[in-house]
């Protein structure tokens, strides 16, 4: 191999190595580490949520709503609308969850009733005892 060719090849190799050595850590740097300390469970007294009402809580940094449905009991649903991420609110009068951004509507099981959302609201497991309800 000629000296000039060797220089060109070495430059290409060094340039690629330098670029990859910068791009890889830069792409990793942009993603912050996941928080590991997550709440294992949240416990509430049943009295706090009478029948036909709902309570908004934060569980693992996610806004949830726990609804005490007439005849069907408690359910925990994510408040994050599956369309564009706005927070749904509980409409006790019409027994549904409504997103203020694009008027998406969900039933009290989290299923889509109308609007632009296509996926149901995420449902969280609940443990129900005689006096308390536990999320998670």
Partner 1 sequence: MMWGKIKHWIEVRIGLEELINRHLRSFKTPKGAGFLSTLGFVAMIAFIVQVITGIMLLLYYVPHPDFAFQSVQTITNEIPYGWLFRLVHNIGSNIIIGVIIIHLLHVFLRVSYKKPREITWVSGCIMFFLVLLTSITGQLLPWNQTGFWQTTVTSTIPAFLPIIGEGISSYMRGGEFVTGITLSRYFSFHVVILPVIISVLIGLHVLMIRRQGISTSPSLEPESIETSNTEFKREDHPEGQPCFPNFSLKRLFMVMIYFVIVFFIMTFMQNIFLPPETNFPANPLMTPESIRPPWYFLAPYQLIKTIPNDILGITLIVIFSVGLMFWPFFDAKDAGRNIQKRPLLLSLALIVLALWAILTIWGMYS
CA gap 30, 49 in Å, rounded:
41
Query: SS3 of 97, please?
Result: strand
The 8-37 site mask, x for binding partner 1 (CB under 8 A), equals ----------------------xxx-----
Q: Which of 1, 26, 61, 131 touches partner 1 (CB under 8 A)?
A: 61
> Cβ(71)–Cβ(86) under 8 Å?
no
> Cβ(65)–Cβ(75) under 8 Å?
no
**Interface with partner 1 in residues 103-122 (CB under 8 A):** 116, 118
Residue 52 interacting with partner 1 (CB under 8 A): no
Q: Which of 44, 49, 101, 126 touches partner 1 (CB under 8 A)?
A: 101
CA terminus-to-terminus distance, the chain: 66
Residues that bind partner 1 (CB under 8 A): 30-32, 56, 58, 61, 63, 83-87, 89, 99-102, 116, 118
């Amino acid at each position: 191999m000629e000296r000039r060719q060797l220089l060109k090849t070495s430059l290409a190799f060094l340039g690629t190595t330098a670029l990859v050595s910068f791009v890889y850590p830069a792409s990793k740097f942009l993603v912050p580490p996941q928080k590991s300390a997550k709440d294992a469970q949240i416990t509430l007294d049943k009295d706090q949520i009478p029948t036909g009402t709902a309570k908004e809580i934060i569980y693992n940094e996610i806004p949830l709503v726990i609804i005490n449905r007439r005849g069907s009991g408690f359910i925990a649903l994510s408040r994050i609308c599956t369309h564009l991420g706005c927070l749904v609110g509980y409409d006790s009068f019409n027994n549904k969850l409504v997103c203020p951004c694009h008027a998406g509507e969900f039933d009290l099981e989290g299923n889509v009733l109308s609007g632009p959302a296509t996926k149901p609201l995420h449902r969280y497991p609940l443990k129900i005892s005689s006096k308390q309800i536990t999320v998670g």
